[in-house]
Amino acid sequence: MRDELIAQLNAWHEEDEYQQIVDRIKEVPTILIDDELAVHLGRALNNLGRYEEALKWFKKIAEQSKEDPLWHFRVGYAYYYLDRLDEAIKAFEMAHKLDPEDEDTLTFLEWSRNEAASAPAVASAEDSDS
């Protein structure tokens, strides 16, 4: 049963049926959503543009995922699309440290750094009063 569920989730991912993944996992009682299901759910939510929700699931497995470059990439991806660039950079840097050969990580790390460097500095209230 479990193997069939994981196979189905992987098939839906390959078919870009991310909402199917979310719907199926949400049928599982929350207490029974283990690390593997949390990863599938977070990945699907990221792909649906539901980044805050994805981060909640990724954070639930943060401790056991700290040496997983893909986990750090997915967290960075969510932060990037939430325009939380400093957090994205940290996550992508860790993913790169753990897997220096991953080109997607390098791409997103470069994008994050470039966008952070070109973002206008937020003026303080005192500066705007002068």
* Domain coordinates in residue numbering, the chain: 1-65, 67-119
CATH code of 1-65, in short, is 1.25.40
**Residue 39: pLDDT band with limits 50, 70, 90:** very high
Q: 56 is written with which tokens?
A: 């909640």
pLDDT of residue 121: 65
Mind listing the pLDDT tens digit for each residue in 51-79? 999 999 999 999 999 999 999 999 999 99
- CA–CA dist 20, 92 (Å, integer): 28
How high is the mean pLDDT of the chain? Answer: 93
Q: Model's pTM, two decimal places?
A: 0.88
Burial pattern 39-49, b for ≥16 Cβ within 10 A else e, equals bbbbbbbbbee
Mind listing the pLDDT tens digit for each residue in 96-126? 999 999 999 999 999 999 999 998 765 444 4
pLDDT of residue 125: 45
Is residue 36 within 8 A of residue 71, CB to CB? The reply is: no
By CB atoms closer than 10 A (0-12, 13-18, 19+), residue 80 is buried
Question: In this structure, how many other beta carbons lie within 10 angstroms of the beta carbon of residue 21?
Answer: 23
